[in-house]
Structure formats: structure tokens, C-alpha cells
Amino acid sequence: DVQLVESGGGLVKPGGSLRISCVASGFTFTSYTMNWVRQAPGKGLEWVSSTSSGGVLTHYGDSVKGRFTISRDNAKNSLYLEMKNLRVGDTGVYYCARDWAVRSGFFDSWGQGTLVTVSS
Amino acid sequence: DIQMTQSPSTLSASVGDRVTITCRSNETISTSLAWYQHRPGRAPNLLLYKASDLQSGVPSRFSGSGSGSEFTLTISSLQPDDFATYYCQQYNSYPYTFGQGTRLDIE
């Protein structure tokens, strides 16, 4: 079975940094584009970032561009999101999500999420 | 960025009802549209992709249609598990964008 398990969330002050992780199992991680999607409290889903199977191509949403960096370690079946200069508006549950197929653009497997809280 | 707008934002219905949710984009996206179901505290669940293709394992009471800039999700006969929030998502171009969601409540 496909499993995606996020970790690393927590409380951080505005302007601070945090790195969250996602460990994948049950599929060939190196074959899939991977994504981060978030949900702020009481709000809808927002796509944050994606990385190609080899990690060379990356894309970001406008609200995080220049502050967040997506990366992956295929040897460890792991996906990361390095978040800097965090804002209160970055608070939310961050989900790791797998593309349905190579660069399909939609997501067929999701983790349970990790909560990031940005507050003073 | 492509903006996705869903209507209605909230929908009240009963078990057995047929319901339809609409999703519109402000640019043409062909059929590059997916639908998700999201229950509180759980991971989102892919229902349909390419506007009308049913994801494996999803009940056939869910169906989708549309192309260009107007799309619909229909649930033919609501079941208790279907009361959740539904999102459309365009993947025609980056940045990918979701609709604001439609919350489906029990009437």
C-alpha cells in the first residue's frame, strides 16, 4: 500500500524557519513527481510546490516563492519543504501528495498532514 | 494565475438526493480538472480526473463533466459517507489552483 508520512511540524515565530519531511513507502518513489499542499485553518486547499521525479524541476505557488524550497532525497524515499521567513498566514496543515502519474498534475495519494503554526 | 470558482459554497441535502456542484475557471483549461473529497481530519481523496474519468475504487455514483471553463461534479444518490467538502483543481498550468470548496451538509 502507498504510504506518505509527514513530520516536522510545530510552533515557530514569525520570521522563523522550519523544515518538514515526508517519507514514502509502497511505491517506486523515484518515478513520481511529488507535491506539498496546505490547508489554513477554516480555509480550502492550496497547492504549495512540486518537484519532478529527479528533483531537477521545481515549481512554487506565488505566496511562497522565494521563501520555501522543495527538495527530495530519492535514496531515502523522502520529500522535504524548507520554509524560511515564515508568516502567520503560513499556518496550516501541510500535506505531502503524489502525482497520479509522471507529471500528471493531480494527486492520487496523500499523507495525513503535519501542522505548522506560525505565531508569536 | 488561473482562478477556480465553485458554486455553491455550501449545499444542504439528504441521503438519496442527487446533487451537482459547479466549478468554473477564468481561463480555458481543456479537461485538465480534478475533483477531490475532503473529510475533516482525513487526507483528501481523488474522485475524478480529466474532468470525467473516475479514479479507481471510487463509487460510480460520482460523475463529472465539462471542458473549457465550466465543469460539474454530480453525485447521483447521496450516501452518509458523502457529506464532506469537495474541491476542484486545475492542472492545466502552474501554479495549480483549487476552488474554494463546496461543503455538503446533511439537511
> B107 pLDDT band (50/70/90 cuts)?
confident
Percent of chain B with pLDDT over 90: 96
CA distance B44 to A29: 20
For residue B7, list chain A residues with Cβ-Cβ distance below 8 A. none
pLDDT given for residue A53 in this prediction: 95
- Which residue is closest to A45 within chain B, CA to CA? B98
Answer yes or no: do B34 and A61 touch at CB < 8 A: no
Per residue in A4-17, pLDDT (tens digit) is 999 999 999 999 99
- Tell whether B91 is within 8 A of chain A (Cβ): yes
Answer yes or no: do A108 and B43 touch at CB < 8 A: no
Residues of A with CB under 8 A from a CB of B: 37, 44-47, 50, 59-62, 95, 97, 100, 104-108, 110-113
Q: Cell numbers of B16, please?
A: 438519496
CA distance A10 to B41: 17
pLDDT given for residue A102 in this prediction: 80
pLDDT given for residue A103 in this prediction: 81
For residue A50, list chain B residues with Cβ-Cβ distance below 8 A. 94, 96
For residue A41, list chain B residues with Cβ-Cβ distance below 8 A. none
pLDDT given for residue A101 in this prediction: 87
Answer yes or no: do B87 and A95 touch at CB < 8 A: no
- Tell whether B57 is within 8 A of chain A (Cβ): no
- Tell whether B102 is within 8 A of chain A (Cβ): no
Mean pLDDT of B39-65: 97
Written as tens digits, the pLDDT of chain A (120 aa) is 999 999 999 999 999 999 999 999 999 999 999 999 999 999 999 999 999 999 999 999 999 999 999 999 999 999 999 999 999 999 999 999 999 988 899 999 999 999 999 999
DSSP chain A: --EEEEE---EE-TT--EEEEEEEESS-GGGS-EEEEEE-TTS-EEEEEEE-TTS--EEE-TTTTTTEEEEEEGGGTEEEEEE-S--GGG-EEEEEEEESSTT-SSEEEE---EEEEE--
